[in-house]
Every structure is written in structure tokens, then in C-alpha cells.
Structure 1
Amino acid sequence: MHPHLSADVYLATSFMRSGEPSPPTPKLQLQLSIPIPSRDSTYYIPDGNTVLLVESTLFKVHRSTLTKDTSTFDSMFSLDSDLRSNSNSASVTVGPEGESDDNPIRLQGDTADEFRALLWALYSLPNELSIALTPKANPLQLFNLARISHKYEFRSIEAWALNALTLAYTRPMHPPNNNNNKDGDAPSLEQLTELASLCEQRDLLEAATQRWKRRLAAGKDISLAINIAERLNLRALLGRAYYVMLLQGREVWDSDGHLTRSQVIRLLSGHYSLGRLWDRLPSEVPTLVHSPRCMGATLIRCNQAWSGLWKSMMEIGKHGVLLQYPDVEGKLMLAEGMLKTLMDRDTPTPGMLEAMPWCKEQALIATAGKVKEIQESLADYFVDVI
């Protein structure tokens, strides 16, 4: 074989030289996999009058059912009727859209499971719907229902689905399994958060945020939480996710392939800002709301004792306590724990607490308030500039 000829070209030239006919050139066959539509086993209703195609599934339902709740199907069908009345019937060859399997109404951007969930809500009996409010609820079905009812503006159905979904995720017993949707019986936490944000359902969003925080406390999905919180502008989750990532350390940031350069800059900014706050805390004594019984000279001694006690607690990070330098929340929570321990003792409290007999509870409230203040403002420390 010639070194610069391919095998096909070499064989062709060989046959030409020998005078024999060349073998037929194989044809390139392209097989396009186009799914054939199939009828839904439940919602292809024989006496229905409207056929819809969602993905590769045909649904046949009653047009009057789809126009409930003043949804967008109502205006869609009204427009369709106007177009039919103004069209030239002689030009119609396959019949009006939606009247046969050959010419169904095609719904774009929906899944068959979502549309099936909508029809379940529209056609089910009350006792069937009531299951959604019990521990036997199907979270994935409710999720699909909430998404599609929001899209097509079934307002009362959307509100009901979101309420049922919120109940499922706030119920103390039998919480839905939504760990990345492994079992297929619940949406992923990312999907749930996006839905709650899209529908502006505050209670569901809070339930999702609490689940994120539990994951973050376990050191899981930190960069994912950062990206979702930034994309959906979820301030509480954003501050917590950045804070947890901050405490992981620079080696983890650099090895995490999901953090952008801007996010690393925000982490550096947070390290600097929280470090400075750590140094300022001893001199930033929270205001103490004194007991009505604390007055006169007692009030003066109480203020002095509280100031000294606060500074003493804020110095704990310099005396062998294993806290990272920017872990301001950890420092404050440790101080809160120390106060609770002193107050829970049956014996008289020694030291500075003796000088504030009526305001011990107020000192604990002030400390807890400072913890909450820092927790709610964590996002402010992670900005683009250092």
C-alpha cells in the first residue's frame, strides 16, 4: 500500500488497474431516534374532547376541565376558537389542533409527569386529594403539580400544592427523602429551593433553607449552596454558606472546582472583615436592658460588672480555646454557653455576676442578641473587595 493513500483509495485504484469492477460503496445510514407518541394509561380518557402531546405522551381530556381556575388554558382555547372561526375550512386537511392523535396540542417545556400531576389534581376525588396532607404524600408529585400549576396560572391549585408541599417538609415525623433525589420519590433540595423562590412561598423557602443549613453543618454541598444562594439571592443561606466555607480553610477553597475567582475573593474579604470584628468585640459591649429593680449605685456596679464580664468572655480566644481566628460566631456562642452554665448552678455565682444580681438573665439575653445579630449579617462580610 502506498504510504500516503488510505485503504479505501488504495483498493479502488487497485481494482481500476486490474479491470475488475470496484465493490459498491457502503452507504452511510443515519438513524434518528424519534420516540413514537403513546397514550397515557390513566389520562387518555375515551370521552375526552382535547388531545395534548407532552414529551412523547398523548393525553385526552375534557377541555372544560383544563379551563378551571381561570388558567391560561382558558385564554388559549378562546384564541383557538377565534382562529377556527376565521380560517378557511377548505384548507384544513388533518382537522383542528387537539381533536386527534395525529394533530395534538403540543405543550413545550413541560414533562409528562408534571402534566400528569396537574390532571391528578383536576380529576381526583376529595379523599384522593386528602392523602397529600398526610405523611403518605408524594413530594415529587406535589412538586410537579406546583411547578406546572404556577406556569399555567392555576392559582388555587398552586396555593394548595405549595401548602401541601410545605407541610410535607415541615412535618416533624417522616420527612421526605430528598437527598439528591436518589430514590426518585422527592425533588432534590436544589429543585425545592428553586420552586419556593419562583413561587415566592416563604414558609417552603424557610424549610428548604433549614435543610441547607443542616447539610452545611455536616460539611456537605457547601459550594453548591453558595452558587444557589447567589443565583436566587437568598441572603440568609448565602451568609451561612460562605461562613462555613471560610472555616474550611484556604486549601479547601483552592481545591474546590466549583468556586469562581470572585467567590474566592469574597472569602478572603470575609476572613479579613471577621478577623477585625474578632479583635473589636471586647470593646463592643452589648447594651444591657436592666431589671427595674436595678437602680442607683446598684445599676452603676451592674454596668461595670457587665462590661468586665463581656471583655473577659471575649478574651477566651486568646487563652487556649481552639477557635479559628475569624470564627466570631463560635466565640459568641461559647460565651453564651459559659453564661448559661454559671446561671444554671445551684450555688451562688462567683465573680462579676455577684455584682449584677438582678440582671443575669438580661446579660444572657444581650449575649444571645449579639449572636443573632452576627448570624443575620454574615452575608455583609463577604463582598467583592478586600
Structure 2
Amino acid sequence: MRFKVNPRVLRAGSPIFKTILKGRDCPIVLSGHTASQFRTFLWAVYAQPLPSAKSFDVARLCSIAEVSFKYDFNSLKLWSMEGIKSLVESPNTILRTAASETFVRLIRLALLYRDPALSRTVQSKWLTRLHWHDLPAAPALVVADAHDLRHLLYHAYYVHLVDVAPRIDREQPIDDGDSPLSTVQNLHVFCGYHSLLAAWKQLQESAPSFTPDAACSSHSKCLIAWNARWALETARVNAAFVPVDVLRRLLFMEQRLEVDAVAADCMTAGCMRAALHAIATKRAEISDNLHHYFDL
């Protein structure tokens, strides 16, 4: 595809174009981006004055930012990235409904432009969408592994495992043939499966320990009541979530036991608070150490 361009305008905005367009018949060979992306970039080059970037959709801004970076077109680099950050950081952020492909592009742009704040924001919103099971985890896992984004990687592994665990339970292939995960990545998924199953089995048999309240005069009664209610709720949680979803199981247990009238009647208030805190602590401990479960 050929584009009719104004060499003077391109040379004025970019030292790279000054080199490329030295002569009259020096073609621009597209590499690393599509003709459609370059067309969008050219529109922005010739737009005078540039409109507010906030009025553009994120896909067009990403195209302009990507091509502008390649050719070091500084004015458009600044304009497009300011627009992207405005859309991402808005109270009504586009990331609430964005597809996985948008998250991937934004992460790559944040890394390309060395913008850690943008990277953190995108990763945080992506993690939220993953744990809502609103997006597939595989794209996040692949991009996080490629760019060494460890926190995103660990949680993407976890959510992906929760999604595929029923297939593993039935001894079916871990995917239906179109998964982007490599053999090594799938091995890590299996490691997580067996490790988290073992972790839940241990929790099912024994509630997280807690320190007795200083005002408790009969802690043995508190323990009997707590262990009995724990056993009852673990039976209920087994029907609600897959066995490897230890994080949601613990959250469910904490929420149920927090309003458990029998536990409240049989335990001191201090021991009840300590027991609930022990569940939250165990959940945070597992969340912070997912890399151990997946052997990463």
C-alpha cells in the first residue's frame, strides 16, 4: 500500500524521518505496524490543531502512540500518551469494559514508554477483572511471563487454574487445543493444581490457628465452638467453589463465620475477632505466596 505524504511535515516532527526522507524518492518501509496504524498516525500528523485526545477511542490512541514511538515523533508521543492516561485513570475508566487485547496493548505501551505508573494502573485493573472472572486469564499470563510482571503473572496463573481445574478433575486435556500457553506454562498450572488441593485439604481438616483473647477465661470452649462451625462451613463451601479456589473459599468462610450466630454466642468477642483475623491472614499469606504453589 502506498501513502502520499508531506515530507516537510514528517521531517519537522521527527529526526528519524529526517534521515529516511533525505531524497525525493525515499520510500517509508512499514515494519512493526500495519498500514491501518500508519494511516491513523498520518491523520494525527496532519491534524492542525490537534483535538483533545480524550475524545478519541483508546485503540486509535494506541496506534498513534506505537507508531510515534517508532519514529520518535515527540509531539504525538506526548499527545497520545496523555490521552491514554486520561482514559485509563478516569473515574469511569475504559478498563472496566476493555477487552484483553486492549490490556495487552496498554501494558506494552507502558513498558515501551517506561511509564511504571501506567503499568501499575493497568495491571491493577486487569487483576480485578481477572478475579471477577470477567476476562480470560491466559492473555494476561502470557504477557506477564514475557515481560516479567511477577505479581500479574502469579495471579493470572491462579485464575487460569480455577478456570481449567474442572477439566483436570475429569482427566481431560488442560485446554481444547487453542490455548496460548506453552508446555512449560501448563506444567506450572499442574503444579499449582496439586499444591493448592493439598493446601485446602489441610485447611479443611484444621482451621487457621489464632491466639486466645487475653480476657478469655475458657478458651477450650471457644476452640470447640470455632472448630465445629469451621467444619460445618467447609462442607458448605465445597459446593460453592472448585477445590483449588482457596482464596475465594477462605473469603467465603470469613464472611459466613463473621455473621455466624452460634459462634458469636459460644465464643468471647475477642476470640471471635482473633479467629476471623486468622482466616484473613491465611488468605493474604496464600495470595502473597502464589509463586510457591506454582513453582515459579
TM over 0.5, shorter chain? yes
- Which position in structure 2 is the counterpart of 1:238? 153
Gap change, CA 1:118 and 1:201, over 3 Å in 2: farther
The answer on whether the counterparts of 2:110 and 2:116 sit within 8 Å (CA) in structure 1 is yes
The answer on whether the counterparts of 2:157 and 2:189 sit within 8 Å (CA) in structure 1 is yes
How far is 1:276 from its partner? 1.9
The answer on whether the counterparts of 2:193 and 2:244 sit within 8 Å (CA) in structure 1 is yes
- Which position in structure 2 is the counterpart of 1:313? 230
**Which residue identity does 1:224 align to in structure 2?**
P
Q: Are 1:117 and 2:41 an aligned pair? A: yes
Higher strand fraction (1 or 2): 1
Pairing partner for 1:189 from 95, 98, 103: 103
- Which position in structure 1 is the counterpart of 2:9? 61
* CA deviation profile, 1:46-94 (whole Å, cap 9, x unmatched): xxxxx2xxxxxxxx4163433xxxxxx17x85xx6xxxxxxxxxxxxxx
How far is 1:139 from its partner? 1.0
* CA deviation profile, 1:269-328 (whole Å, cap 9, x unmatched): 11221122113335573656x9xxx64xx1565698379636842673346731433331
Q: Distance in 2 between matches of 1:240 and 1:138?
A: 29
- Which position in structure 1 is the counterpart of 2:183? 261
The answer on whether the counterparts of 2:41 and 2:63 sit within 8 Å (CA) in structure 1 is yes
* CA deviation profile, 1:242-261 (whole Å, cap 9, x unmatched): 33333333225153442433
* CA deviation profile, 1:320-349 (whole Å, cap 9, x unmatched): 73143333123201112113434xxxxxx4
Gap change, CA 1:197 and 1:325, over 3 Å in 2: same
- Which position in structure 2 is the counterpart of 1:381? 293
SS in structure 2 of the partner of residue 324 of structure 1: coil
**Which residue identity does 1:339 align to in structure 2?**
L
The answer on whether the counterparts of 1:269 and 1:381 sit within 8 Å (CA) in structure 2 is yes
- Give the TM-score normalised by structure 1: 0.58
* CA deviation profile, 1:10-45 (whole Å, cap 9, x unmatched): xxxxxxxxxxxxxxxxxxxxxxxxx4x3315xxx3x
Gap change, CA 1:275 and 1:38, over 3 Å in 2: closer
Gap change, CA 1:357 and 1:160, over 3 Å in 2: farther
**Which residue identity does 2:53 align to in structure 1?**
A
Structural mapping, 1:292-371, within 5 Å: 295=214, 298=215, 305=222, 309=226, 312-313=229-230, 316-318=233-235, 321-322=238-239, 323-342=241-260, 349-351=261-263, 355-358=267-270, 360=272, 363-371=275-283
The answer on whether the counterparts of 2:216 and 2:270 sit within 8 Å (CA) in structure 1 is no
Q: Distance in 2 between matches of 1:311 and 1:158?
A: 61
Question: Aligned pair count?
Answer: 284
- Which position in structure 1 is the counterpart of 2:58? 139
RMSD: 4.1
Pairing partner for 2:26 from 98, 103, 106: 103
Higher helix fraction (1 or 2): 2
The answer on whether the counterparts of 2:61 and 2:84 sit within 8 Å (CA) in structure 1 is yes
Pairing partner for 1:224 from 126, 132, 139: 139
The answer on whether the counterparts of 2:247 and 2:283 sit within 8 Å (CA) in structure 1 is yes
Q: Which of 1 and 2 has higher RCO (CA within 8 Å, sep 6+)?
A: 2
SS in structure 2 of the partner of residue 243 of structure 1: helix
* CA deviation profile, 1:146-199 (whole Å, cap 9, x unmatched): 32344455678646633431331343437376447xxxxxx6333233323433
The answer on whether the counterparts of 1:139 and 1:168 sit within 8 Å (CA) in structure 2 is yes
Q: Distance in 2 between matches of 1:198 and 1:104?
A: 26
The answer on whether the counterparts of 1:178 and 1:189 sit within 8 Å (CA) in structure 2 is yes
- Could you say which structure has the larger radius of gyration? 1
